[in-house]
Amino acid sequence: MHDVAAAAGVSQATVSLVLNSASGSRFSEDTRRRVQDAVDRLGYRTNAHAKVLRGGVAGMIGFVGDFVASSPFAGRIIEAAQDRAWESGLLLLTVNTGGDRALEAASLETMLSYKVAGVVYASMYHQLLDVPEVLGEVPSVVLNSEDRDGRFCSVAPDEEEGGYTATRHLIAAGHTRIALINNDVLESGLPAAVGRFAGYSRAMQEHGLEVNPDFVRFGHGAEPDGFEHATSLLTAACRPTAIFCGTDRMAWGAYQAAATLGFSIPSDLSIVGFDNQETLAPHLRPALTTLELPFEAMGRRAVDLVLQGTEPEGRVELMECPLIERNSVTHPKEMP
Partner DNA sequence: CATCAGAAGTTATACGAATAACCTATGAAG
Partner DNA sequence: CTTCATAGGTTATTCGTATAACTTCTGATG
Q: Is 278 in the site for a copy of itself (CB under 8 A)?
A: yes
In this structure, which amino acid lies at residue 240?
P
Whole-angstrom Cα distance, residue 250 to residue 170? Answer: 17
Residue 108 or residue 272: which is nearer to DNA going by CB? 108
Phi, psi of 311 (to 5 degrees): -100, 145
Q: Is 116 in the site for DNA (CB under 7 A)?
A: no
Report which DSSP code applies to 214.
G
Q: Is 47 in the site for a copy of itself (CB under 8 A)?
A: yes
Q: Is 12 in the site for DNA (CB under 7 A)?
A: yes
Stretch that binds DNA, among 26-34, 153-161, 254-262, 315-323 (CB under 7 A): 26-34
Report which DSSP code applies to 45.
-
Q: Is 140 in the site for a copy of itself (CB under 8 A)?
A: no
Number of chain residues interacting with a copy of itself (CB under 8 A): 49
Is the Cβ–Cβ distance between 336 and 179 less than 8 Å?
no
CB of 53 to DNA, least distance (A): 4
Looking at 14, 96, 247, 277, which residue binds DNA (CB under 7 A)? 14
Residue 25 or residue 279: which is nearer to DNA going by CB? 25
- DSSP per residue over 121-134, as a string? EE-SSS-EE---GG
* Residue 158, helix vs strand vs coil: coil
**CA torsion through residues 302, 305, 307, 309, sign:** negative
Stretch that binds a copy of itself, among 24-32, 49-57, 146-154, 264-272 (CB under 8 A): 49-57
278 contacts: CB under 8 Å, gap ≥ 6: none
CB of 128 to a copy of itself, least distance (A): 24
Number of chain residues interacting with DNA (CB under 7 A): 26
Whole-angstrom Cα distance, residue 14 to residue 9? Answer: 10
CB of 66 to a copy of itself, least distance (A): 11
Contacting residues toward DNA, per CB under 7 A:
1-2, 10-14, 16-17, 19-20, 25-28, 30-31, 44-47, 50-51, 53-55
